[in-house]
Amino acid sequence: MRRTFRHISGILAVVIGWAGGPALADKAQYLDMARRGWSYELRSTMVGRDMSIPVHINGRDLKDARICVLGEPPTKDSRAVLNAFRALLEHVHGVSAALHEAGEDIDACGTGHMVALRLYSGPPPNRALGRDLGWMDRVYDLGLPSRHVWAASSPAMAQTFFGRKGAGTHVMVQQAAAGETGPFDQAYFRSILVEELFQTFTFGMDILHLDAQEPFLSKLEENPLRLRHVAWGSRGFKSAMLSSNPPALCAFDIFMLHAVADAPVEQTTTPDFISYINENFAPLQARTEATLGEPRFAPVLDPACAPQEATQLRQ
Protein backbone atom coordinates (compact mmCIF):
# COMPACT_ATOMS: atom_id res chain seq x y z
CA MET A 1 0.00 0.00 0.00
CA ARG A 2 1.01 3.59 -0.03
CA ARG A 3 4.31 2.15 0.89
CA THR A 4 6.32 4.06 3.21
CA PHE A 5 9.37 3.41 1.35
CA ARG A 6 8.15 6.70 0.95
CA HIS A 7 8.79 6.19 4.58
CA ILE A 8 12.20 4.72 4.00
CA SER A 9 12.98 7.62 1.73
CA GLY A 10 11.13 9.91 4.10
CA ILE A 11 13.31 8.86 6.95
CA LEU A 12 16.28 9.53 4.81
CA ALA A 13 13.42 11.27 3.60
CA VAL A 14 9.41 -13.72 -18.35
CA VAL A 15 7.60 -15.11 -20.12
CA ILE A 16 6.21 -17.22 -17.33
CA GLY A 17 3.46 -19.76 -17.82
CA TRP A 18 1.05 -19.52 -14.90
CA ALA A 19 -2.16 -21.42 -15.37
CA GLY A 20 -5.14 -19.13 -15.30
CA GLY A 21 -3.03 -15.97 -15.40
CA PRO A 22 -2.91 -13.14 -17.92
CA ALA A 23 -0.52 -12.85 -20.82
CA LEU A 24 2.72 -12.20 -18.98
CA ALA A 25 5.69 -10.01 -19.70
CA ASP A 26 8.73 -10.54 -21.83
CA LYS A 27 12.29 -9.94 -20.67
CA ALA A 28 12.33 -6.27 -21.68
CA GLN A 29 9.17 -5.56 -19.70
CA TYR A 30 10.52 -7.28 -16.60
CA LEU A 31 13.80 -5.37 -16.80
CA ASP A 32 11.89 -2.11 -17.14
CA MET A 33 9.73 -2.94 -14.12
CA ALA A 34 12.80 -3.91 -12.09
CA ARG A 35 14.43 -0.58 -12.86
CA ARG A 36 11.30 1.32 -11.89
CA GLY A 37 10.90 -0.53 -8.59
CA TRP A 38 14.48 -1.11 -7.49
CA SER A 39 16.73 1.50 -9.11
CA TYR A 40 16.55 4.54 -6.86
CA GLU A 41 18.53 6.79 -4.57
CA LEU A 42 17.37 8.26 -1.29
CA ARG A 43 17.61 11.98 -1.85
CA SER A 44 15.63 13.46 1.03
CA THR A 45 15.70 13.16 4.78
CA MET A 46 13.54 13.76 7.79
CA VAL A 47 14.27 17.18 9.22
CA GLY A 48 16.61 16.75 12.17
CA ARG A 49 17.86 13.26 11.32
CA ASP A 50 21.59 12.58 11.73
CA MET A 51 22.89 12.61 8.14
CA SER A 52 26.23 11.02 9.06
CA ILE A 53 24.59 7.59 9.51
CA PRO A 54 25.32 5.40 6.47
CA VAL A 55 22.60 3.70 4.45
CA HIS A 56 22.83 0.21 2.94
CA ILE A 57 19.90 -1.22 0.98
CA ASN A 58 19.88 -4.91 0.11
CA GLY A 59 16.70 -6.95 -0.05
CA ARG A 60 18.52 -9.93 1.47
CA ASP A 61 19.24 -8.07 4.70
CA LEU A 62 15.97 -9.24 6.27
CA LYS A 63 15.97 -12.80 4.94
CA ASP A 64 16.46 -14.33 8.40
CA ALA A 65 14.66 -11.64 10.40
CA ARG A 66 12.14 -12.69 13.02
CA ILE A 67 8.69 -11.15 12.56
CA CYS A 68 7.62 -9.80 15.95
CA VAL A 69 3.87 -9.17 16.06
CA LEU A 70 2.76 -6.34 18.36
CA GLY A 71 -0.64 -5.06 19.39
CA GLU A 72 -3.57 -7.25 18.45
CA PRO A 73 -3.06 -10.93 17.73
CA PRO A 74 -3.44 -11.76 14.04
CA THR A 75 -6.94 -12.52 12.85
CA LYS A 76 -7.47 -15.84 11.08
CA ASP A 77 -6.99 -14.17 7.71
CA SER A 78 -3.95 -12.15 8.81
CA ARG A 79 -2.35 -15.31 10.18
CA ALA A 80 -2.96 -17.14 6.90
CA VAL A 81 -1.16 -14.36 5.03
CA LEU A 82 1.71 -14.28 7.52
CA ASN A 83 2.20 -18.04 7.43
CA ALA A 84 2.09 -18.22 3.63
CA PHE A 85 4.49 -15.29 3.27
CA ARG A 86 6.92 -16.78 5.80
CA ALA A 87 6.80 -20.09 3.90
CA LEU A 88 7.51 -18.18 0.69
CA LEU A 89 10.51 -16.43 2.25
CA GLU A 90 11.89 -19.73 3.51
CA HIS A 91 11.39 -21.33 0.09
CA VAL A 92 13.18 -18.49 -1.70
CA HIS A 93 15.99 -17.77 0.77
CA GLY A 94 16.42 -21.19 2.35
CA VAL A 95 16.23 -19.62 5.83
CA SER A 96 13.32 -19.92 8.26
CA ALA A 97 11.40 -16.73 9.07
CA ALA A 98 10.24 -17.11 12.66
CA LEU A 99 7.10 -15.47 14.06
CA HIS A 100 6.92 -14.17 17.64
CA GLU A 101 3.79 -12.66 19.16
CA ALA A 102 4.99 -10.19 21.79
CA GLY A 103 1.78 -8.53 22.90
CA GLU A 104 1.66 -4.78 23.38
CA ASP A 105 5.23 -3.97 24.47
CA ILE A 106 8.01 -3.92 21.88
CA ASP A 107 10.52 -4.69 24.65
CA ALA A 108 9.26 -8.27 24.46
CA CYS A 109 10.56 -8.53 20.88
CA GLY A 110 14.15 -8.63 22.05
CA THR A 111 17.02 -6.93 20.26
CA GLY A 112 17.98 -9.53 17.65
CA HIS A 113 17.43 -9.34 13.91
CA MET A 114 13.71 -8.68 13.58
CA VAL A 115 10.88 -6.80 11.90
CA ALA A 116 8.31 -5.25 14.24
CA LEU A 117 4.78 -5.69 12.89
CA ARG A 118 2.05 -3.86 14.81
CA LEU A 119 -1.47 -5.02 13.95
CA TYR A 120 -4.56 -3.04 14.90
CA SER A 121 -8.22 -2.61 14.09
CA GLY A 122 -10.09 0.65 14.32
CA PRO A 123 -8.19 3.96 14.68
CA PRO A 124 -4.38 3.81 14.34
CA PRO A 125 -2.51 3.42 17.65
CA ASN A 126 -0.29 6.46 17.22
CA ARG A 127 0.93 6.50 20.83
CA ALA A 128 2.05 2.90 20.50
CA LEU A 129 3.75 3.79 17.22
CA GLY A 130 5.66 6.53 18.98
CA ARG A 131 6.74 4.16 21.77
CA ASP A 132 7.85 1.56 19.24
CA LEU A 133 9.97 4.02 17.29
CA GLY A 134 11.41 5.52 20.46
CA TRP A 135 12.54 2.02 21.49
CA MET A 136 14.09 1.45 18.05
CA ASP A 137 15.87 4.79 18.25
CA ARG A 138 17.47 3.77 21.54
CA VAL A 139 18.36 0.23 20.47
CA TYR A 140 19.72 1.00 16.98
CA ASP A 141 20.97 4.55 17.63
CA LEU A 142 18.92 5.86 14.74
CA GLY A 143 19.48 9.54 15.36
CA LEU A 144 15.79 10.36 14.97
CA PRO A 145 14.71 13.92 15.79
CA SER A 146 13.72 14.42 19.40
CA ARG A 147 10.14 15.38 20.32
CA HIS A 148 8.84 14.23 16.95
CA VAL A 149 5.14 13.34 17.05
CA TRP A 150 4.59 10.11 15.12
CA ALA A 151 1.29 9.37 13.41
CA ALA A 152 0.08 6.85 10.85
CA SER A 153 -0.03 8.27 7.34
CA SER A 154 -2.07 5.38 5.91
CA PRO A 155 -3.79 2.21 7.17
CA ALA A 156 -0.68 0.22 6.22
CA MET A 157 2.83 1.62 6.43
CA ALA A 158 6.36 0.28 6.71
CA GLN A 159 9.43 2.22 7.76
CA THR A 160 13.06 1.18 7.75
CA PHE A 161 15.49 3.31 9.76
CA PHE A 162 19.26 3.10 9.40
CA GLY A 163 21.23 3.61 12.62
CA ARG A 164 24.75 3.42 14.02
CA LYS A 165 23.94 0.06 15.64
CA GLY A 166 22.01 -1.48 12.76
CA ALA A 167 18.76 -0.96 10.91
CA GLY A 168 15.29 -1.16 12.41
CA THR A 169 12.14 -1.98 10.46
CA HIS A 170 8.66 -1.16 11.71
CA VAL A 171 5.43 -2.13 9.94
CA MET A 172 1.96 -1.09 11.09
CA VAL A 173 -1.08 -2.56 9.33
CA GLN A 174 -4.79 -2.38 10.02
CA GLN A 175 -6.63 -5.69 10.12
CA ALA A 176 -10.28 -6.63 10.26
CA ALA A 177 -12.34 -5.70 13.29
CA ALA A 178 -15.28 -7.72 14.56
CA GLY A 179 -17.97 -7.78 11.89
CA GLU A 180 -15.59 -7.15 8.97
CA THR A 181 -15.75 -10.71 7.76
CA GLY A 182 -17.25 -10.57 4.27
CA PRO A 183 -15.27 -11.11 1.06
CA PHE A 184 -15.00 -7.37 0.42
CA ASP A 185 -13.29 -6.69 3.75
CA GLN A 186 -11.25 -9.88 3.57
CA ALA A 187 -9.85 -8.87 0.19
CA TYR A 188 -9.00 -5.36 1.38
CA PHE A 189 -7.16 -6.35 4.56
CA ARG A 190 -5.34 -9.17 2.79
CA SER A 191 -4.22 -6.77 0.07
CA ILE A 192 -2.68 -4.16 2.35
CA LEU A 193 -0.88 -6.72 4.52
CA VAL A 194 0.57 -8.59 1.53
CA GLU A 195 1.86 -5.37 0.02
CA GLU A 196 3.61 -4.16 3.16
CA LEU A 197 5.24 -7.54 3.76
CA PHE A 198 6.50 -7.77 0.18
CA GLN A 199 7.95 -4.27 0.14
CA THR A 200 9.51 -4.70 3.57
CA PHE A 201 11.37 -7.87 2.58
CA THR A 202 12.45 -6.74 -0.90
CA PHE A 203 12.93 -2.95 -0.62
CA GLY A 204 10.82 -2.50 -3.75
CA MET A 205 9.30 0.92 -4.41
CA ASP A 206 5.78 1.83 -5.49
CA ILE A 207 5.44 1.96 -9.29
CA LEU A 208 2.91 4.29 -10.87
CA HIS A 209 0.46 2.62 -13.27
CA LEU A 210 -0.93 5.45 -15.38
CA ASP A 211 -2.16 3.71 -18.53
CA ALA A 212 -5.52 2.07 -17.89
CA GLN A 213 -5.16 0.04 -21.08
CA GLU A 214 -1.97 -1.65 -19.96
CA PRO A 215 -2.24 -4.83 -17.86
CA PHE A 216 -0.71 -4.89 -14.39
CA LEU A 217 2.49 -6.85 -13.85
CA SER A 218 3.13 -6.26 -10.14
CA LYS A 219 1.55 -5.71 -6.76
CA LEU A 220 3.87 -2.68 -6.53
CA GLU A 221 1.99 -0.90 -9.32
CA GLU A 222 -0.63 1.61 -8.28
CA ASN A 223 -3.17 3.82 -9.93
CA PRO A 224 -2.68 7.18 -8.19
CA LEU A 225 -5.57 8.00 -5.88
CA ARG A 226 -6.86 11.13 -4.21
CA LEU A 227 -8.18 9.87 -0.90
CA ARG A 228 -6.98 12.53 1.51
CA HIS A 229 -10.50 13.38 2.66
CA VAL A 230 -11.96 9.87 2.52
CA ALA A 231 -12.23 8.01 5.84
CA TRP A 232 -9.91 4.99 5.97
CA GLY A 233 -12.52 2.58 7.26
CA SER A 234 -15.20 3.59 4.78
CA ARG A 235 -16.42 1.35 1.98
CA GLY A 236 -15.45 4.03 -0.50
CA PHE A 237 -11.85 4.06 0.69
CA LYS A 238 -11.55 0.27 0.65
CA SER A 239 -13.16 0.04 -2.77
CA ALA A 240 -10.77 2.62 -4.20
CA MET A 241 -7.79 0.81 -2.74
CA LEU A 242 -8.91 -2.52 -4.18
CA SER A 243 -9.29 -0.94 -7.59
CA SER A 244 -5.83 0.65 -7.51
CA ASN A 245 -3.63 -2.44 -7.83
CA PRO A 246 -3.67 -6.27 -7.74
CA PRO A 247 -4.81 -7.79 -4.43
CA ALA A 248 -1.74 -10.00 -3.95
CA LEU A 249 1.61 -10.90 -5.50
CA CYS A 250 1.99 -11.38 -9.24
CA ALA A 251 4.45 -13.51 -11.20
CA PHE A 252 6.82 -10.55 -11.54
CA ASP A 253 6.89 -10.11 -7.77
CA ILE A 254 7.91 -13.73 -7.25
CA PHE A 255 10.53 -13.29 -9.96
CA MET A 256 11.95 -10.31 -8.04
CA LEU A 257 11.95 -12.22 -4.76
CA HIS A 258 14.19 -14.79 -6.42
CA ALA A 259 16.36 -12.08 -7.98
CA VAL A 260 16.84 -10.37 -4.62
CA ALA A 261 17.71 -13.69 -2.98
CA ASP A 262 20.19 -14.77 -5.65
CA ALA A 263 21.96 -11.62 -6.84
CA PRO A 264 25.56 -11.40 -5.53
CA VAL A 265 25.48 -7.61 -5.24
CA GLU A 266 26.19 -5.24 -2.38
CA GLN A 267 22.94 -3.35 -2.81
CA THR A 268 19.77 -4.20 -4.71
CA THR A 269 19.19 -0.62 -5.84
CA THR A 270 22.18 -0.34 -8.16
CA PRO A 271 22.78 -1.00 -11.87
CA ASP A 272 24.65 -4.18 -10.91
CA PHE A 273 21.39 -5.68 -9.68
CA ILE A 274 19.62 -4.98 -12.96
CA SER A 275 22.60 -6.40 -14.86
CA TYR A 276 22.36 -9.59 -12.82
CA ILE A 277 18.68 -9.96 -13.72
CA ASN A 278 19.47 -9.39 -17.40
CA GLU A 279 22.24 -11.99 -17.42
CA ASN A 280 20.34 -14.59 -15.35
CA PHE A 281 16.84 -14.14 -16.67
CA ALA A 282 16.27 -17.75 -17.75
CA PRO A 283 17.20 -19.42 -14.43
CA LEU A 284 15.24 -16.80 -12.49
CA GLN A 285 12.28 -17.48 -14.75
CA ALA A 286 12.54 -21.22 -14.12
CA ARG A 287 12.65 -20.75 -10.35
CA THR A 288 9.67 -18.42 -10.53
CA GLU A 289 7.62 -20.96 -12.45
CA ALA A 290 8.39 -23.63 -9.86
CA THR A 291 7.43 -21.33 -6.99
CA LEU A 292 4.15 -20.32 -8.59
CA GLY A 293 3.17 -23.98 -8.74
CA GLU A 294 3.28 -24.37 -4.94
CA PRO A 295 -0.30 -24.41 -3.52
CA ARG A 296 0.89 -23.42 -0.04
CA PHE A 297 1.66 -19.91 -1.27
CA ALA A 298 -1.87 -19.30 -2.56
CA PRO A 299 -2.92 -16.86 0.23
CA VAL A 300 -0.35 -14.32 -0.99
CA LEU A 301 -0.59 -14.88 -4.76
CA ASP A 302 -2.86 -13.41 -7.41
CA PRO A 303 -2.71 -15.46 -10.64
CA ALA A 304 -4.80 -12.87 -12.51
CA CYS A 305 -2.56 -9.95 -11.44
CA ALA A 306 -5.46 -7.53 -11.76
CA PRO A 307 -7.29 -5.16 -9.41
CA GLN A 308 -10.52 -6.59 -8.07
CA GLU A 309 -13.72 -4.79 -8.85
CA ALA A 310 -15.64 -3.99 -5.70
CA THR A 311 -18.85 -5.21 -7.29
CA GLN A 312 -17.36 -8.70 -7.61
CA LEU A 313 -16.57 -8.74 -3.90
CA ARG A 314 -20.05 -7.79 -2.75
CA GLN A 315 -21.56 -11.01 -4.05
Domain boundaries defined on the chain: 6-13+19-313
In this predicted structure, what is the pLDDT of residue 50? 66
In this predicted structure, what is the pLDDT of residue 186? 95
In this predicted structure, what is the pLDDT of residue 224? 85
Interatomic CA distance for residues 4 and 1, integer angstroms: 8
In this predicted structure, what is the pLDDT of residue 53? 80
Q: What is the CA radius of gyration of the chain?
A: 18
Return the bridge partners of 157, or none: 172
In this predicted structure, what is the pLDDT of residue 238? 94
Interatomic CA distance for residues 216 and 248, integer angstroms: 12
The per-residue pLDDT string of the chain (315 residues; one tens digit each, 9 = 90 and over) reads 544 433 333 333 333 344 444 334 589 999 999 999 998 866 555 545 667 787 889 989 998 899 999 999 999 999 999 999 999 999 999 998 899 999 999 999 987 889 999 999 999 999 999 999 999 999 999 988 877 889 999 999 999 999 999 999 999 999 999 888 899 999 999 999 999 999 999 999 999 999 888 999 999 999 988 888 888 889 999 999 999 999 999 999 999 999 999 999 999 999 999 999 999 999 999 999 999 999 999 999 999 999 986 445 444
In this predicted structure, what is the pLDDT of residue 24? 45
Cβ contact 85:296 at 8 Å: no
DSSP-assigned letter for residue 149: -
Return the bridge partners of 130, or none: none
Interatomic CA distance for residues 231 and 215, integer angstroms: 29
